[in-house]
Amino acid sequence: MRTKIFCLPVLLAALALPAAEGMFPMNGMTPAIAADMKALGCRFDPADLWRPGQKCLAMAVVNLGATGSFVSADGLIITNHHVAFGAVQSLSSPERNYIRDGFLAAGREQEVPAPGYSVRVMTGFENVTQRFRSALRPGLAAEKRRFLVEKISKQLVAAGERTPGNECAVAAFYGGLEFYLATYFKVRDMRVVYVPARSVGEYGGEVDNWMWPRHTGDFSFLRAYVGKDGRPADYSRDNVPFRPLHFFPIARTPLREGDFTLILGYPGTTKRWHTAAEVANEVQAVYPQRIALLERYIGLLEKASQADDGVRIKNAGVLKGLYNSIKNNRGLLAGLEREAVLEQRLRIESELAAWIDAAPGRKKKYGRLLADIGRLAAEEREVAGLGTISGWLTRGCRLLDWALTLNKWGQEKTKKDLEREPGFLDRDMANRMARLPISQRNLDLASDKAVFAFFLEQLLAADNPGIFARLRNEVERAPGRDRGEKIAAFIAALYQGTRLGVLKFKEEMFAADAKAMAASGDPFLALAARIQPDFAALDRRRSAIAGGWLALKPLYVEAMRQARPQALPYPDANRTLRFSYGRVEGYAPRDAVRYAPFTTLAGVLAKHSGEAPFNLNPAYIAAAGGDGRRLHADPGLGDVPVNFLTSNDSTGGNSGSPVLNADGELVGVLFDGNYESLGSDFLYHPAVNRSIHVDMRYVRFVADQVDQAAAVLRELGLER
């Protein structure tokens, strides 16, 4: 596929870019960036980052919801402990607690399936903007604009997926100013190879999360398997390891402060192109509401998890994600307020308004832009809270999620694939079916009921627009003196009569049509049929708003680029493959405090208290006191390196990203950012924004001295 680099104005703007700022698309390499990388010490050819369909650095990077990378010719992947957490959670039981004790396959015959896991390797990245521009005429109604974007995207995806093994996705850049088609080779048979004990992989827990100094061994190993013909295949004992076009060798040269580093990964979402009105929504409504809800949601699940070890294991993955989310959201809100991001955006847009008013041509084209943005943002704020609550209601209550999905699937399956709503294409439903067993394994009905009751009460209280009138009527018909009693009775009746807690029944309903679902008599499925229009109404409101942004945001970006030549020369992160470059570098978070860029084994031992989250197991204590510590120590540091800091730009989704040195060798795996950088989703600060990584020398120490993972070390070329 043909790809294009950014236009000349973008290239020139890159000349003034701070060295570490920017998460660049794979076709975003420019002579200025290449020169900047070389000036920082890069010794490989920057053009080797991306060569579609050929051996290049990008071909060693995988997307598994977060990021990972190939580290052997036989499909061995390194990622984070917290990324592989769901796999060991699904394999665990009170009798075999792999979450607590870790997992190690002594040989490939002992590698076990990772339920629900798959990886994608990007093989193509094509600019398809013209396909959209020719259809998105000025003046189109918002819903029509959104519909056309979805329709064209589905057509492009369908055409790209005619090749067996391909999975495609269309991504909008700059709010819809540009569109790209990403093509991936998807591997479905994933297996767990080696996951260290939780006391290593999650050392410090939520106490240390987003903090520096860190001492966390946040790494795990998985392996990708394919059929004997090299094509993607479901799990089979006859499958063979996937042979990637490239894998990263482990660095042998010690990493030092000031060294060049490069990160490749799949960052989720940044908001550096957000308008002032959007930032106001985030600061004044979205984050405060989300934090308040998360606090109560976490408390609810913690209480439910006290029942026994089995429930604790089932809820562990959700709680882990919620702990991370609440700290992230608190940090984001604090960063927005500390850096006065809203005030900065308001000043910039005041200058933009003056620039627009200064010329009749600009006034004609952009004169209503900022006012229209303000109106659309106000409309978005009205339904944003409902969207958050209803999203958690359906994700948190699995039975309701399954009921609504099955009901919708019964309607959508009668349509042609390309005529269905997003998320209900054949390939989407196949993915849902593949994840069904792991979702079933982690189902605790008592927790499910409690989550349903909590978010249902929140939803009805927040539904000022009256969108969920049908759901409200269902609750009001239940017996009880007040809403709390009615909700309790409503939910008790649903759970008493449903069979959605049974895997076989769900599988049968996936294959059934709408008539058969109705005939099943299941109360949850019957409820879903009655209240689906409420969720559809909210989706229509949000879809119209999204369509409005598709018209306004490209105009905003266009105007900003003309008015401010120093405007960001890169798009916001959107879950597509990106690269960022920087160097090993500490930082000064406040007056008279300076953080060094490396932590060591001495710091791990200093934090050890014997109580979670600072509890080391006996094998680790023995290894730390033996000759192996000296064997793996860095002479320059005088100890085993554990974690390190770099100035690379990153965000959520970069978890598991490979960190490469100046020669393109693997020196670490990204797993976090520092607390001071949490506001960087909106504004990057070179002085304090840092990415945190586990050092490959620590991976080697733990694998060798603590877990005796000899086979893994041999495959990595790191035999003693």
Question: Which positions are annotated as active-site residues?
Answer: 82, 218, 655
User: What distance in Å separates the CA atoms of residue 226 and residue 231, rounded to the nearest whole number?
Assistant: 6
Whether the link from the prior residue into 213 is cis, omega within 30° of 0, is yes
Q: Indicate the DSSP class of residue 115.
A: T
Backbone angles phi, psi at 112, to 5 degrees: -115, 150
Kindly give the interhelix angle for 503-511 and 398-412, rounded to the nearest 10 degrees.
20
Q: Which residues pair with 221 in a beta bridge?
A: 78, 194
Which residues have CB under 8 Å from 409's CB, separation 6+?
424, 429, 510
Query: Residue 712 corresponds to which amino acid?
Result: V
Query: Residue 65 corresponds to which amino acid?
Result: G
3 state SS for 300-362: HHHHHCCCCHHHHHHHHHHHHHHHHHHHHHHHHHHHHHHCCHHHHHHHHHHHHHHHHHCCHHH
Q: Which residues pair with 112 in a beta bridge?
A: 192
Closest CA to 653 of 267, 127, 221, 182: 267
**Count of Cβ atoms closer than 10 Å to residue 611 Cβ:** 7
Query: Residue 668 corresponds to which amino acid?
Result: G
User: What distance in Å separates the CA atoms of residue 644 and residue 218, rounded to the nearest whole number?
Assistant: 12
In the block, residue with structure tokens 């896991």: 117
Exposed/middle/buried for residue 515 (C-beta within 10 Å: 0-12, 13-18, 19+): exposed
Whether the link from the prior residue into 613 is cis, omega within 30° of 0, is yes
Pairing of strands 593-595, 587-590: antiparallel
**Dihedral of alpha carbons 29, 35, 36, 37, sign:** positive
CA-based R_g, the chain, Å: 26
